[in-house]
Amino acid sequence: STDDPGSAGHEQVVFCQDRQSGLRAIIGIYSTALGPALGGTRFYPYASEAAALADVLDLSRGMAYKNALAGLDLGGGKAVIWGDPDQLKSESLLRAYGRFVQSLGGRYYTACDVGTFVADMDVIARETRYVTGRSVEHGGAGDSSVLTAWGVFQGMRAAAEHVWGTPSLRGRRVGVAGLGKVGRHLTGHLVDDGAEVVATDVDPRALAWARTNHPGVTLVDDTSALVAADIDVYAPCALGGALNDDTVPALRARVVAGAANNQLAHPGIEKQLADRGVLYAPDYVVNAGGVIQVADEIEGFNFDRAKLRATRIFDTTRQILRLADDEGVPPAVAADRLAERRMAEVGRLRAIH
């Protein structure tokens, strides 16, 4: 395509169909400038094929940027399986999908996403080598929330350093919205570092977990109470769109750093955050620990090596926040620029385009 593989559009989009199993999938490869495209498979009941296509185009592009900033030798891709996983998911469907992944000859590696799980990757792996996020028993990295939380913690420390001069979160009040897989591990790291955690979740089991394991955590009723609480850092760890026209004006935190994907509800939100003096550590930068964990499987999973890579999210976040200051742009824009720079510079060397 062009000199800038980071922004030159998608390289390849593959429509897959297997009538017998009911498989309808789309694999989007945005870029292989840095290496094979890696990104999960989302299994979701899209309203239409157009909606599935729009999602896979958007998500595969996002993965290229995430993988570039995670320092991985991997490009960006993503896949969607269109349908209700509860109705459709079967061994034959997953294996049919695995054969399509295999047919791309390693241009695309898949992994888990919404609607797909470690056990599904094990099934897909019976048809293709190009799959990560398998179970530990099958040589996989297992649950990626472990290093996702570790990376979010590192990104938060870098943001804290940028605002307060020290990366330590000792004595800071950190609001964790969502005590799921990532939120729980993150809470552990924060408590270990001496932070005061304020948290919320819609699931009573998650609240019970907090009461049992971290009795020092303050629980509040809902996300709006958390946002309005006297917190220093806000960590969205539930669903997307956490930063919106309702939450941003109410937010009292100086720093936002959390695991949730697509935290910015719409583009103008970045400016609203900046105007309120809130430092936003871009979601796709700080939540890259999960992809770092599963990507490590390609080399034969080594937890310590993967953890070291996730620890570097501290340095990357610091670099992005400094670049944002230097160039007078929001951190999300600085992050995009850095990702595009790496895709263009290293992609040029690989001479793929």
The reply on whether position 180 binds ligand NAI by CB under 6 A is: yes
Contacts of 60 (CB under 8 A, 6+ apart): 10, 28, 29, 30, 37, 39, 76, 77, 78
List C-alpha distances in Å: 87 to 24, 127, 180: 13, 22, 25
Residue 67 near which of K ion, ligand NAI, none (CB within 5-8 Å, type-dependent): none
CA 247: distance to chain centroid?
Answer: 21
User: Which range in 8-16, 190-198, 211-219, 231-239 contacts K ion by CB under 5 A?
Assistant: 8-16
Annotate each residue in 278-297 with x if it binds ligand NAI (CB under 6 A) or - if it does not, as one string.
Answer: ---------x--x-------
- Locus of tokens 């960006």: 76
Q: Which residues of 318-328 are buried (b: 16+ CB within 10 A; e: fewer)?
A: bbbbebbeeee
Report how far residue 180's alpha carbon sits from residue 178's, in angstroms, rounded to the nearest whole number.
Answer: 6
Cα–Cα distance, 22 to 42 (Å, whole number): 16
Q: Would you say 59 or 199 has its CB closer to K ion?
A: 59
The answer to the question of residue 346 lying near K ion (CB under 5 A) is no
CA–CA separation, 317 and 332 (whole Å): 11
The only residue of 5, 39, 133, 140 in contact with K ion, by rule CB under 5 A: 5
How near is the Cβ of 4 to K ion at its closest, in Å? 8
The tokens describing 205, both together, are 């089991």
Q: Which residues pair with 243 in a beta bridge?
A: 264
Q: How far apart are alpha carbons 223 and 123 in whole angstroms?
A: 37
- 243-282 positions binding ligand NAI, by CB under 6 A: 259-261
60 lines the binding site for K ion (CB under 5 A): no
Given 3-state DSSP classes, what are the helix, strand and coil percentages for the chain, each rounded to the nearest 5?
45, 15, 35
What whole-number distance in Å separates Cα of residue 193 and Cα of residue 214? Answer: 13
The only residue of 26, 31, 38, 209 in contact with K ion, by rule CB under 5 A:
31
CB closer to ligand NAI out of 182 and 295: 182
DSSP letter at 296? Answer: G
For residues 31 and 148, which CB has a smaller minimum distance to ligand NAI in the complex? Answer: 148
Site pattern 188..217 for ligand NAI (x: CB under 6 A): ------------xxxx--x-----------
* Token reading at 42: 């989302």
Residue 290 contact, options ligand NAI, K ion, none, Cβ 5-8 Å cut-off depending on partner type:
ligand NAI
Q: Is 78 a catalytic residue?
A: yes
Number of residue whose CB is nearest K ion: 31
Assigned token pair, 221: 């009723």
Nearer to ligand NAI, 69 or 260 (CB): 260
Is 238 an interacting residue with respect to ligand NAI (CB under 6 A)?
yes
Site string for ligand NAI, 125-154 (x = CB under 6 A): -------------------xx--x------
Number of chain residues interacting with ligand NAI (CB under 6 A): 24
80 contacts: CB under 8 Å, gap ≥ 6: 25, 26, 41, 42, 43, 44, 46, 52, 55, 56, 59
Kindly state the smallest distance separating residue 96's Cβ from ligand NAI, in Å.
26
Measured from the CB atom, is 33 or 255 closer to K ion?
33
Q: Out of 110, 116, 154, 223, which residue is the one contacting ligand NAI (CB under 6 A)?
A: 223
Catalytic residue among 66, 78, 89, 271: 78
Q: Which of 127, 130, 128 is nearest to 109 (CA)?
A: 130
Kindly state the smallest distance separating residue 77's Cβ from ligand NAI, in Å: 16
Alpha-carbon distance 65 to 62, whole Å?
5
Q: Is 179 in the site for ligand NAI (CB under 6 A)?
A: yes
Residue 38 engages ligand NAI in binding (rule: CB under 6 A): no
Binding stretches for ligand NAI (CB under 6 A): 144-145, 148, 177-183, 200-203, 206, 223, 237-239, 259-261, 287, 290
Binding stretches for K ion (CB under 5 A): 5, 8, 31
What residues are annotated to the active site? 78
